[in-house]
């Protein structure tokens, strides 16, 4: 089954192919009204700003800009290629990078000097999946 793996670059995907690729690569993302979207839950305004700034940096570096909605304790990011008028490889690649960076945390099984954010409400800033 070739599916999304052989899809031409910068050509919009059909909804079924979008859902298949999301299920395989981005299970916390969904298709809604022609956009792929993700809601990140934060522990408050500080975490929300950190998430927005991270997404902003990645989007600017990629020169592909999402729609972002924010509230006190969440950020919603939506991606669609406006030029192509649909979801393309650009959207999936940026979503993968956003997911990788926002949800990154050192694991307890990693041999790393980075310990990660303590499980303490004073320091917690994002809800990890």
Contact 97, 58 (CB under 8 A): yes
According to the model, what pLDDT value does residue 64 have?
95
44-58, 72-86, 87-101, 111-125: range with lowest mean pLDDT:
111-125
pLDDT at 49 over 50: yes
According to the model, what pLDDT value does residue 16 have?
97
In tens, the pLDDT along 57-86 reads 999 999 999 999 999 999 999 999 999 999
Which superfamily does 10-102 belong to?
A: Transcriptional coactivator/pterin dehydratase (3.30.1360.20)
What are the extents of the domains in the chain?
A: 10-102
According to the model, what pLDDT value does residue 115 have?
82
Please state the three-class secondary structure of the chain as a single string.
Answer: CCHHHHCCCCCCCCHHHHHHHHHHHCCCCEEECCEEEEEEEECCHHHHHHHHHHHHHHHHHHCCCCEEEEECCEEEEEECECCCCECCHHHHHHHHHHHHHHCCCCCCCCCCCCCCCCCCCCCCCECCC
Write down the pTM of the prediction: 0.88
pLDDT at 1 over 50: no
């Amino acid at each position: 089954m070739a599916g999304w793996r052989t899809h031409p670059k910068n050509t919009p995907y059909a909804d079924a192919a979008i859902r298949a690729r999301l299920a395989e690569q981005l299970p916390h993302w969904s298709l809604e009204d022609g956009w792929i979207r993700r809601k990140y839950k934060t522990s408050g305004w500080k975490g929300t700003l950190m998430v927005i700034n991270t997404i902003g940096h990645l989007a600017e570096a990629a020169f592909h800009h999402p729609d972002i909605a924010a509230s006190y304790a969440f950020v919603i990011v939506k991606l669609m290629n406006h030029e192509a008028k649909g979801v393309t490889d650009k959207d999936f690649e940026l979503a993968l990078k956003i997911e990788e960076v926002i949800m990154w945390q050192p694991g307890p099984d990693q041999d790393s000097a980075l310990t990660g954010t303590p499980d303490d409400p004073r320091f917690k800033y994002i809800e990890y999946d």
